[in-house]
Structure 1
Amino acid sequence: MIALSTRNLTKRYGNKTVVNSVNLEIEKGSIFGFLGKNGAGKSTFINMITGLTMPTSGSFEILGEEGGSFQKVRHRIGVLPDYSTFYENYTALEHLKYYSKILRLSLTTNELKDVLRQVELGDAINLKTKSFSFGMKKKLGLAQALINKPDLLFLDEPTSGVDANSILNIHSLIKEVSAQGTTIFLTSHNLDEVEKLCDDIAIMNKGIIQTKGSMQQLRKQYQDNISVYIKHDSISETKQNKLRSEISLLVKNIKVAADCSEFYVEDESVIPKINKYLVGENINVYRLEVEEPSLEEIFLNLGEEKFSA
Structure 2
Amino acid sequence: MMEIIKINQLTKKYGGTTEVLKGIDLTVHQGEVFGFVGHNGAGKSTLIHTITGIINKSSGSFEIMGFPDKQIDKAKKEMGVMPDISNLYEHMKGIHFLRYMGELVGDQRSKKDYESLMKDVGLEGAEKKKIKSYSFGMKKKISIAQALLGNPNLIILDEPTSGLDPESAIKIRKLVTRLQEQGKTILLTSHNLDEIDKVSDRVGILSDGVIKKLGTPRQLKEEMEAGLSISIRTKPILQEDYIQVLSKKLEMDLNFVETKKEYTLLNVASDNDIPKLSIELIDSGVLLYEIKVEQRSLEDVFMNT
1:46 to 41, 45, 48: 48
1:9 alignment partner in structure 2: 10
2:289 matches 1:286: yes
Who is 2:300 aligned against?
A: 297
Per the alignment, residue 107 of structure 2 pairs with: 105
Deviation at 1:267, TM superposition (A): 3.2
* Secondary structure in 1 matching 2:85: coil
Query: SS at 2:223's partner residue?
Result: helix
Structure-1 residue corresponding to 2:129: 127
Q: Which residue matches 1:307?
A: none
- Alpha carbons 1:112, 1:147 under 8 Å: kept: no
2:268 to 251, 265, 270: 265
What is the identity, as a one-letter code, of the residue corresponding to 2:9? N
Structure 1 pair 101–285 and aligned structure 2 pair: CA distance change class (3 A): same
Amino acid at match of 1:37: H
User: C-alpha offsets along residues 51-78 of structure 1, whole Å, 9 cap, x if unaligned?
Assistant: 1122222111212222222222212111
TM-score (norm 1): 0.85
User: What is the aligned counterpart of 1:68 among 70, 74, 77?
Assistant: 70
Cα distance, 1:261–1:120 mapped onto 2, change above 3 Å = closer
Q: How far apart, in 2, do the equivalents of 1:216 and 1:235 lie?
A: 32
Kindly state the Cα deviation for residue 152 of structure 1 after the two structures are TM-superposed. Answer: 1.2
CA shift, 1:151, in A, is: 1.3
Once the two structures are superposed, what CA deviation does each residue of 1:108-155 show, in whole Å capped at 9, x if it has no partner? 111111111111222111222121111111111111111222211111
User: How many residues in Structure 1 have an aligned counterpart in Structure 2?
Assistant: 299
Alpha-carbon shift at residue 22 of structure 1 (Å): 1.1
Structure 1 residues 70 and 269: CA distance shift in structure 2, 3 A: farther
Does the CA contact (< 8 Å) of 1:31 and 1:178 recur in 2? yes
The answer as to whether partners of 2:244 and 2:254 remain within 8 angstroms in 1 is no
**Structure 2: tracts of 5 or more residues without a match:** none
> 3-state SS of the aligned residue for 1:122?
coil
Partner of 2:209: 207
Distance (whole Å) between structure 2 residues aligned to residue 287 and residue 252 of structure 1? 17
Shift of 1:245: 3.8
Q: Which residue of 2 aligns with 1:305?
A: none
The runs of 5 or more residues in structure 1 that have no matched partner are 303-309
- List aligned pairs for 1:90-169, cutoff 5 A: 90-169=92-171
Following superposition, the deviation at residue 275 of structure 1 comes to 4.1
The verdict on how the C-alpha distance between 1:262 and 1:114 changes in structure 2, with shifts beyond 3 A counting, is closer
CA RMSD across the alignment: 2.7
* 1:71-104 Cα deviation digits (max 9, x unpaired): 2221211111353432233111111111111101
Deviations 1:136-190 (A, max 9, x none): 1111111111122221111111112222221111111111112221111111122
Give per-residue Cα distances to partners, 1:237-286, cap 9 Å, x unaligned.
9x988744443x232324899x8654322333433444465567786643
User: Distance between the aligned counterparts of 2:272 and 2:83, measured in 1?
Assistant: 43
Q: In the aligned structure 1, how far is the partner of 2:243 from the partner of 2:98?
A: 68
- The 2-side partners of 1:12 and 1:147 are apart by 32
Secondary structure in 2 matching 1:113: helix
TM-score (structure 2 length as normaliser): 0.87
Match of 1:184 in 2: 186
Percent identity between matched residues is 36
1:233 positional shift = 5.7
Cα distance in 2 for residues equivalent to 1:122 and 1:256: 50
Confirm or deny: 8 A CA contact 1:84 1:141 kept in the other structure. Answer: no
CA positional deviation for 1:230? 2.1
Partner of 1:59: 61
State how far apart, in whole Å, the 1-side matches of 2:110 and 2:175 are: 21
How far, CA to CA, are the matches of 2:218 and 2:246 in structure 1? 30
Q: For the structure 1 residues 18 and 255, does the alpha-carbon distance in structure 2 shift closer, same or farther, using more than 3 Å as the test?
A: closer
* CA distance in 1: counterparts of 2:138 and 2:263, whole angstroms: 50
SS of aligned partner of 1:60: strand
Contact 1:4/1:60, CA 8 A, preserved across alignment: yes
Q: Of 230, 233, 253, which residue of structure 2 is paired with 1:231?
A: 233
Aligned equivalents of 1:219, 1:263: Cα separation in 2: 18
